[in-house]
Amino acid sequence: MGDFNAVGNTSMNTNNTEHKNQGVGKTLIEWLRNRDFIDSFRFINLHKKKYTWQKDNSASRIDYVWLEEEFQNIIIKAEIKDISILTGSDHKLVWVEIETSAILNYGKLRKKEGKGLIRRVFLYHKTMEEN
């Protein structure tokens, strides 16, 4: 999630037809797409043109919230809102509402048949970086 400074789709995400997508942001967007992540705003708002950044007559949607494709069924709403009066930023807020009950249930203690309470513990501090 954040400011990628890149446009995912020039026909839908910018009003500047001469916008050139370059740099790390473009590379990161391609990396996310190649790993089946979805742009949550575009997934919910297939044909809506809204921008997250504007300067003079140029506007683009360069801020995103990406989710793994398997979470597409829990996205309830995705929106872009101007809160510059609160933040003083030239970027708009991108927010996503998701149904978390299925996710939160996953980590709760539960009883397994014939075994009492069990829980799954993830040891993130022991994870290793992949190449």
For residue 63, report the phi and psi dihedrals to the nearest 5 degrees: -115, 135
Q: What is the pLDDT along the chain (131 residues), one digit of tens a residue?
A: 666 777 777 767 778 766 666 667 778 888 889 999 999 999 999 999 999 988 888 888 889 999 999 888 889 999 999 998 888 888 999 999 998 876 666 555 455 565 666 566 777 777 776 66
In a domain, 131, yes or no: no
Query: Per the structure block, which two tokens stand in for 43?
Result: 């997934």
pTM of the model: 0.70
**Neighbour-count burial of 19, counting CB atoms closer than 10 A to its CB (0-12 exposed, 13-18 middle, 19+ buried):** middle
List the CATH number of the domain containing 122: 3.60.10.10
In a domain, 48, yes or no: yes
Count of the separate structural domains present in the chain: 1
Range of the domain at 55: 2-126
